[in-house]
Structure 1
Amino acid sequence: MPTGFKDWLQTLYVLLTFSAVLCFGALKSVLVGPIAGLILILGNLGVILGLFPAHVAWTVYTLLKTHKFDVPLKVAILLGLPALFGLWLGLSIAGSCLVGVGYGFFTPWVSSFEAFRLEDESKKFYHCLVDGTWGVIKGSCTVVRDFADLCYYSYPNYLKELRENPVSNELQPLRFIHVPACIIVGLMGLIVEIPLYTAIAIVKSPYMLFKGWHRLLHDLISREGPFLETACIPIAGLAIIMWPLVVVGSILLAIFTSFFVGLYGSVVVYQERSFRRGVAYLIAMVAEFDEYTNDWLYLREGSILPKPRYRKRKPSSASEPSVGRNQSIHERFRSIFPEAHGVHVPTLTASRSVRETIKEVKMVQIWGSIMKACEVRGMKLVEAGVITQSDLSDWLKAKHSNDGPVVGTGLPCFSLLHSLLDSIQSGSNGLILFDGTEVNHLNRPQDRLLDWFFQPVLVLKEQIRALQLEEGEIRYLEKVLLFGDKMGRAKSWENGSFVPHDALRAAQIEGISRRMMGMNRSVAKFPTYRRRYRHVVKELMAHAGGKGSSTMSVTRPLVKDGSMNSSTEKDGSVRSMSSRSVASIDIV
C-alpha cells in the first residue's frame, strides 16, 4: 500500500477517534460533572461557613496574645480584619464554585483522552469508558477533605506558631500615624489594581488567544512539541479547542491576584514608613504587570506606564533578591514582588515532547516515596520499641502536630535525615528518594511548592556533609530529631550515640535538627500531607498491634539506574547504609 495512502488512513483514523472521544467525553461531563461539582462546591462551602466563626475567634485570640506586634499594629490589624474576612469569604466561595465547575466538567473530558497514552491497545477503549467517572467523584471528595484539613489543622497550627514561636518575641512596632496610611493605601490598592489589572488582561487576551492558536497549529503541522507522538495528537487537539478557556482562566487569575497585590501596599507602607512610597508601589505594580505580560506575549519590550521607585534602599538578599541589569522581566517581577507569583500567562514558547516530559520526576512520585520511607522506617522503630503505640495514638487524636511530636515531627525528620545521608553517601548532586530515584535540578518537578523546599534541603545536605559526622554523632542527631526535649525518652534509647565534647559542634548538630524540624512543620501545613501521613500512621498502628514482633526486610537500589554501588563510600565520615543501625536494626 502506498505510504501516502497509509498516512491518509492514519490521519482519518485519528480524526474519527478524536471526534468520537470528544463527544463521549462531553457526555461523561454532563452526567458526572454536576455530581462531582456539587460535592466539591457544597463541601467547601460547608467548611468555609462552618469554620468561619472559629477562624474569627482563633485569629483575634492570636492577635491579642502574640508578642510580635505592638499595640498600634494590633489596632491596625483589628481594624482591617473585617475587610480581610469579607475578602476571604468572597474569594473562597467564588473560587470553590469555579473550581467545582471546572473540575466536574473538564476532568471527565480530559480523562477520556488520557486513555490514548496507554500502550496496551486492548485497554484503551475500557479506560476511555471508565476513566473520569467514579474516580472524579472520589477526587472531589478528596479535594474537600484536603481543604478541610487546610482550614481546620494548618491554619490553627500557623496561628499557634505565631503565638508561641520565640521569634515572635521580636517586637514589630507601628506608630499610630501610620495606621490611617496603611488603611488608605490598602483601599487604594483594591480600587486601583483590580480594574487596571483586569483592563490589561482583557485588552491583551486577543493576542494571547491568536498567538496560542498559532503556536499550537504550528506544532501540529510540523509535528513538534505535544504533537510529536501520534498517540498524543488527540490530547493536543483538545488543547487547541480548550485554548479559549485557558485565556479566560488567565484573565480570572489576573483579577484574583490583583486583590493581594493591592493589599500588599499596606505592607509596603508599614515597611517603608511612608505613605508616598506605598502609592508609588501601587503605580509600579501596574507597570510591572504590563511589562510582564508583554514579555510573555512577545509584544513590545518594557511598559509605557511609569515605574516609580518605592524602596528607600536596595533590599538585602535575605529578604528580597537583588535585581540585576541582566535579569529577565520574569526574574525582575518576582524579585520586586515575590508574593505575586500567581500572576501568570501561560507561555507560548514551543513545548517539549511527551517523552521529554516523562523523564521528569513527578510530584506524586516524590510524595509517595516520602510517605513510604516514613512507613518502612517507622515500622522498624516500632519493632524496636522506640516508637510506641501510645505515640501513634496521641498523634491521631491531636489537633496540632506539636501535640504528638514524636510521630508528627520526629519520624518525618528521622526519615529525611537518612534520605540525606543516603544522598551524601552516594555522591549525588540531588536527593535520593526511598525508591532509589535521584531528584536533581535537571529532572525535578517544576512545582511552586517544591521550589520553597528543594534548594533549602540541598543546602542542609551540604551542611551535614561539611560537618563530617561520626557514627555516634549521627545517632545523637537521631535522638534529638525523634524526641526533641523529651530527655527521659532519649536517654532510655540505647543506640550508641554520644554528645560531642566540643560545644560548638554540639550546637551545630542541634541547629541542623531545628532547621529540619522547621522544614517539616512547614510541609505539614500542606493539606495533602496530613491525609497521606494519617494513612501512614494508621499502618504503623496496625503494625504495632499485630505485627510488632515480626521482622521486615526491604531491599532497594541506591539509585534508579543502578550505576552507583551501595558498598562504595564517597565520604569516609558517613558510613554506607549497611553499616548504620538504629537500635541494632538496619534502616534501609
Structure 2
Amino acid sequence: MEPPSGFWSTLWRLFYFLPFFLGLLLLGSIKGILLCPIVCLVMTTGNSAIILGLWPVHAFWTFYCIARAKQLGPVLKLVLSVVVSILLLLWPLIGILGSALIGAGYGFLMPVMATFDAIGEGKQDKFLHCIMDGTWNTIRGSCTVVRDLKDVCFHSYFSIMDDLRLQDAPNGTPYEIRLSCLPGALLAGVLGILVDLPMISLLALFKSPYMLFKGWNRLFHDLIGREGPFLETVCVPFAGLAILLWPVAVGGAVFASSISSLFLGGYAAVVAYQESSIKMGVAYIVSSLSMFDEYSNDVVDLPEGSCFPRYQYRTNQQTSRSSTFSIPPSFSQRKQDSKNPSRTASFKNAMAEVKPLKLLEHLFAECKLHGENLVAEEVITPKDVKEFKSGKAGNSIISIGLPAYCILQALVRSAKENVDGLLLSDHTEVMTQNRPKDTFFDFFFDPLMIIKEQIRVENFTEEEEDYLFKLVLLLGHPERLSRVAAAWPHQNERRLAEISAIARRLRGITKSISRYPTVRRRFDELLKTFSEELERKMGGSRSINRFHSSRSFLKVLSLNSLEIKASTHEMDEEAQLASSSIVLA
C-alpha cells in the first residue's frame, strides 16, 4: 500500500487507523486477561512437576558424573561440587518462579499479538480471526513450552553429563585449579561485582531518558510520515503498540544492564585467575566500565568513546585454536570480505535474511527424504527406530547420524559448487550476509564453513565420499561400521585419519544441535510422519489397520527388508518360511 502524500491525507490516515488500533488492543487485552491465568497455571504446574520430579535424579547424577569425570582434577571436582550444590538448591525456586512469570507474560502478550496479526492481508473472515486467534494456539503453546522443558531436563541434560563423564582428559592431563590463585580471583570477582553493579546501573539509568525520547521521536516521525514500520497498513497496529510499550522496552533494557553487570563484573575473577594477578583483575574492572559505556553509546546513537579509561588486562594476546587441517587464505579473505560489504551496496540489492525456522524445516525435510532412502537400502533398521523412540541411546543413528548425514550432503554440495556459503538442496545459499542473526547460530555456522573448506581442499574421491557419509551415519556403532570399513579400499593412514576427523567433528556439532529442545520435539514429529508414510507405502489401506502399535511397525520394516532382498535374489525355503511367520504374526 502506498503511503499517503500531503499533511491532511497523512492526518486523515492517522485518525482512520486509530480506532481500529484501539479496538484491536482492547480485544486482545480482554483475551489476554482471560487466558493469562489458564496459561500461567498450565506452565507453572507442568514445569514444577518436571523440575521437582527429576530433581533427585539430577542431583545424584550430577555429583556422580563430576566424581567420575576423567578430565577434572580432585580439587576442581571439590570446587564444582560446592558450586553445583548451591545451584541445585536454587534451581527449583528459580525454575518454578520463572515458569510463573513467563506463563503470565506469555498468556497475556500472545493473544494481543495474535489479534493484531489477524487483520493481515490475505486472511478471510478477519472478524472471526480477531476473536479466535490467540486462544487455543496460546494454550497449545504453553503445553509446548512444558514439553520443551521436559526435553531439556530429560534428554539434553543427560547428554551433556554423559559427555562430561565419558570424555578423556586432553593430552592425558586433567583440568585442575591452582589453589594459590583462588583467594585473589575471588577478591577480584567480588570487587568487580561491587563496582560494576552500581556503576553500570547508574550509566543505564543516566542514558535511559535519552533512549526513551529518541525512540519516541523516531517512532512518531515514522507515524506522521508513514515511513519505516508504518509504511505497510498491516504493520501499523504493531508499530502503534511499539509506541505504547516503548517505556517498557527501555525499562527492560535498564534491568538487563543491571543483571549483565553481575556477570561482567564477576568475570574479573576469571581474568585474575588466568593471569595470576589481582592487578590484571582490577584493570579489567575499570576496562569493563569503558566497554559497557562505549557499547551503550552505540546502541543509543551517542558520540563514540568513553569517559572511563581502558587498560590492558591481558599479558599475552589470546591466539585462536588451530584447526586439524590447514585452511587456505582464500577462505579467510572471503569471510572477511563478507563481513565488510561494499559501502555502495544498496538496500534494494540486500539479501533477504534466512530465518532459523526455514533452516530447521529444510533439515527435517532432508532427514525425511534421506531417511526413506536409507531404510530402503536397509542402512537404517527397525532396531534404530526402536532405539530412538526409547530414548536410551544418546548416540543414535536417527537422532545424530541422520541429521549429520544431511548436513554433510549440503557441505559436499557447497564444496563442489565452490560457493562462499552453504548451498541447500533448493539452491538457497546461506551466507554471512543473509544467515540468521541469532547469536547461538554463530556457534554452528562458522565451524561448518571450516569443515566445508576442508572437504573442498581435500578433494575426496567418490569412494572416499561414500565412506565419509557412512562413517558420519554409523559412527558409534563399531560392529556395523566394521563391515563398511572392510569394503573400503584404504589408501593410506593419513587419508583415513582426515576422513575420521571430519566425521567426528561433524557429529559433535550435530550432537550439540540435537540438544536444543525444539530439535528433539521436531524429530519426534518427523519419526511419526516417517512411520506413517512408510506404512502407507508398504501396506496400503489394509496394512494401516494392522499396524497401530510400534511393534507392528517394526514387523512391517522387517517384512519390507525381506521383500527387497527377494527382488534381487531368490529366496530359499527357510527365508520363505520366516516371511510367512512374520505375516501370520
TM-score by length of 1: 0.79
Kindly tell me: are residues 108 and 434 of structure 1, through their superposed partners in 2, closer, same or farther at Cα, counting changes over 3 Å? farther
- The match for 2:369 is 376
Q: Shift of the alpha carbon at 1:512?
A: 1.1
Kindly tell me: are residues 105 and 455 of structure 1, through their superposed partners in 2, closer, same or farther at Cα, counting changes over 3 Å? same
Cα deviations by residue, 1:434-471 (Å, 9 ceiling, x for unpaired): 44433222322211221211122122122212222221
Q: Shift of the alpha carbon at 1:399?
A: 4.2
Q: Shift of the alpha carbon at 1:379?
A: 1.3
Secondary structure at 1:298's aligned position in 2? coil
Normalized per residue, the structure richer in helix is 2
Distance 1:192 1:79 in 2: 26
**1:240-255 pair list within 5 angstroms:** 240-255=243-258
Distance 1:8 1:73 in 2: 67
Root-mean-square deviation (Å): 3.0
- The match for 2:146 is 144
Distance 2:225 2:101 in 1: 35
Counterpart AA for 2:271: V
| Residues 70 and 169 in structure 2, CA contact (< 8 A), matched pair in contact too | no
Secondary structure at 1:365's aligned position in 2? helix
Kindly tell me: are residues 150 and 283 of structure 1, through their superposed partners in 2, closer, same or farther at Cα, counting changes over 3 Å? farther
Kindly tell me: are residues 112 and 210 of structure 1, through their superposed partners in 2, closer, same or farther at Cα, counting changes over 3 Å? same
Secondary structure at 1:429's aligned position in 2? coil
- The match for 1:475 is 466
Q: Shift of the alpha carbon at 1:93?
A: 4.5
Q: Shift of the alpha carbon at 1:53?
A: 3.1
1:75 to 70, 74, 78: 78
Q: Shift of the alpha carbon at 1:367?
A: 0.8
Kindly indicate whether residue 148 of structure 2 is the aligned counterpart of residue 158 of structure 1. Answer: no
Kindly tell me: are residues 305 and 53 of structure 1, through their superposed partners in 2, closer, same or farther at Cα, counting changes over 3 Å? farther
| Residues 389 and 544 in structure 1, CA contact (< 8 A), matched pair in contact too | no
Kindly tell me: are residues 84 and 460 of structure 1, through their superposed partners in 2, closer, same or farther at Cα, counting changes over 3 Å? same
Q: Shift of the alpha carbon at 1:27?
A: 1.1
| Residues 475 and 498 in structure 1, CA contact (< 8 A), matched pair in contact too | no
- The match for 2:202 is 199
**1:428-467 pair list within 5 angstroms:** 428-467=419-458
Kindly indicate whether residue 277 of structure 2 is the aligned counterpart of residue 277 of structure 1. Answer: no
Gapped regions of structure 1 (runs ≥ 5): 320-351, 551-582, 584-588
Counterpart AA for 2:404: C
Distance 2:40 2:292 in 1: 33
Counterpart AA for 1:247: V
Kindly tell me: are residues 7 and 278 of structure 1, through their superposed partners in 2, closer, same or farther at Cα, counting changes over 3 Å? closer
| Residues 201 and 254 in structure 1, CA contact (< 8 A), matched pair in contact too | yes
Kindly tell me: are residues 82 and 486 of structure 1, through their superposed partners in 2, closer, same or farther at Cα, counting changes over 3 Å? closer
Kindly tell me: are residues 84 and 62 of structure 1, through their superposed partners in 2, closer, same or farther at Cα, counting changes over 3 Å? same
1:217 to 214, 217, 220: 220
Distance 1:454 1:275 in 2: 37
Counterpart AA for 2:383: S
Distance 1:123 1:488 in 2: 59
Q: Shift of the alpha carbon at 1:391?
A: 0.7
| Residues 10 and 225 in structure 2, CA contact (< 8 A), matched pair in contact too | no
2:39 to 36, 40, 43: 36
Distance 2:455 2:156 in 1: 29
Secondary structure at 2:119's aligned position in 1? helix
Q: Shift of the alpha carbon at 1:118?
A: 2.5
Aligned identity (percent) is: 38
Distance 1:381 1:111 in 2: 41
Gapped regions of structure 2 (runs ≥ 5): 323-345, 541-564, 566-585
Distance 1:40 1:249 in 2: 23
| Residues 194 and 255 in structure 1, CA contact (< 8 A), matched pair in contact too | yes
- The match for 1:536 is 526
Q: Shift of the alpha carbon at 1:484?
A: 1.5
| Residues 70 and 167 in structure 2, CA contact (< 8 A), matched pair in contact too | no
- The match for 1:366 is 359
Structure with higher Rg: it is 2
**1:229-308 pair list within 5 angstroms:** 229-308=232-311
